[in-house]
Amino acid sequence: MAIIFALCSAVAYGLSDFVGGLLSRRTSAWSVAVVAQLSAAACTTVIAILVMGSPTTEDFVWAILAGTASGVGAGFLYRGLASGQMSVVAPVSAVGAALVPALAGTLSGERPSVVMWLGVVCALPGIWLVSDSPDEPSGERRTDDPALRTAAPSGRRAPLSAGVVDGVLAGLGFGVLFAALGQIPERAGLWPLATAQAMSVPAVILLAAGLRATWRPRGRTVWWALLAGPLGAAATGAFLLASQSGFLTIAGVLASLYPATTIILAALLLHERLHRAQGVGLALCGLAIVLVASG
């Protein structure tokens, strides 16, 4: 079941990113993130009321860390994508999100089988390749956020190093999110998860304020981000269940396959071209899933 939960998490994260990505082309990515996180927190809170649990103070400490890391990761991911460095930020962040929980699980004493480790070895380059895309012409990404327009002025792209930094910081944020959620036991119920979702909101706002970016929701378009909330809540909840029922090492790697979902949706719904590197990446991701499942 852990593998199924982790793959469901990857699909839900990919769907959420797809919706958020479409909206971020029309309005501020920061306001989209705030609305989506608020919606996710509300959905998780409603479900938490119905689920019995006995969380401890330690569980809530891990939840606060997870939520803060989630907000920071989302903030740097959006900043990186807004700068036009998608082909750099996406793979770096996804691989980082996979490596941190894998390292945390290994240090905590998890010992997956050799076949599972082979799946991990296939998954990491697969994540990188499936996230790869040709450079987009500068100025294509639309935004009403002055800070984002400054980060990606017409006719220029942000330096490659900036994309790498944003990708690394986003990957660390998401990786810490996964690793922290992996420390919350099943008996805690869902209140720690609801706490983590709630904590991500002020984290995004504070980061946006620190970067002098517009985060207040304005206009009708941004409120469509409410649809991304349940998807994000489902993704995080599925990962929590995966980490509770199996290896954190494996759950983190499989959940980080989320770029594959976004790429497939873009190809099917937006008719975006699937490039050779992405095809190879999808094949490696599929092989990784088979190896992990058979191990």
What is the chain's Cα-based Rg? 18
**Number of structural domains found in the chain:** 1
Region for 52 from its dihedrals, namely left if φ exceeds 0, alpha if ψ lies in -120 to 50, beta otherwise: beta
Query: DSSP state, 137?
Result: P
- Angle at the Cα of 169 (from 133 to 10), degrees rounded to 5? 60
Helix segments in 25-113, DSSP class H? 29-50, 57-82, 86-107
Domain that holds residue 56: 2-294
Query: DSSP state, 134?
Result: P
DSSP secondary structure string for all residues of 104-116: HHHHTT----HHH
> 3-class DSSP state for residue 60?
helix
Average pLDDT score, the chain:
81
User: What does the pLDDT look like over 118-170, one tens digit per residue?
Assistant: 888 888 888 778 766 655 444 444 444 433 343 344 444 445 566 678 888 88
The pTM of the full predicted model, rounded to 2 decimals, is: 0.80
- pLDDT band at 2; cut points 50, 70, 90: confident
Query: 194 with 45: CB under 8 angstroms?
Result: yes
